[in-house]
Amino acid sequence: MPYTPVIPKGSAPPLAPYSPGTKAGNAVYVSGTLALDAAGNLIGKGDVKAQTRHVLETIKSVLEAAGGSMKDIVFNHIFLSDMGGYAAMNEVYREYFPETPPARYCIRADLVKPEFLVEIASIAHLDR
């Protein structure tokens, strides 16, 4: 099945060869998203909550560019550089998924750069 890249206005420059999202049929796949602004600068240095909020807002912009919303997310892949930030990440995450949250997993992983504290990738289905 062919897919279409999804690149919302104001996207951060990619750190590698990838698109912020792709749409294939009614599915949208959002790449691992970091807390970067449109110029590629880190948002929320040392602040898990600020980084989580920025990451989720970026995911929201990808989904909206594809014709969807956060309610269309069915699965999130969450990576934390330190599980000590788990509660802080969940506090912000809960604001975006207050009812019937999607399936997910959360693991500790070394991220691309040490200043990144959280990375989230998402899968959404627009026909829900």
Q: Could you tell me the residue ranges of all domains in the chain?
A: 4-125
- How confident is the model over 18-34, as pLDDT tens digits? 899 999 999 999 999 99
Q: How far is residue 26's CA from residue 24's CA, in Å, rounded to a whole number?
A: 6
Q: What is the pTM of this model?
A: 0.95
Radius of gyration over alpha carbons of the chain, in Å?
14
Confirm if 114 and 26 have CB atoms less than 8 A apart. no
State both tokens at 5: 């890249």
Sign of CA dihedral 18, 19, 25, 28: positive
Q: Which fold has domain 4-125?
A: 60s Ribosomal Protein L30; Chain: A; (3.30.1330)
Confidence of residue 17 (pLDDT cuts 50, 70, 90): confident
Q: How far is residue 91's CA from residue 2's CA, in Å, rounded to a whole number?
A: 37
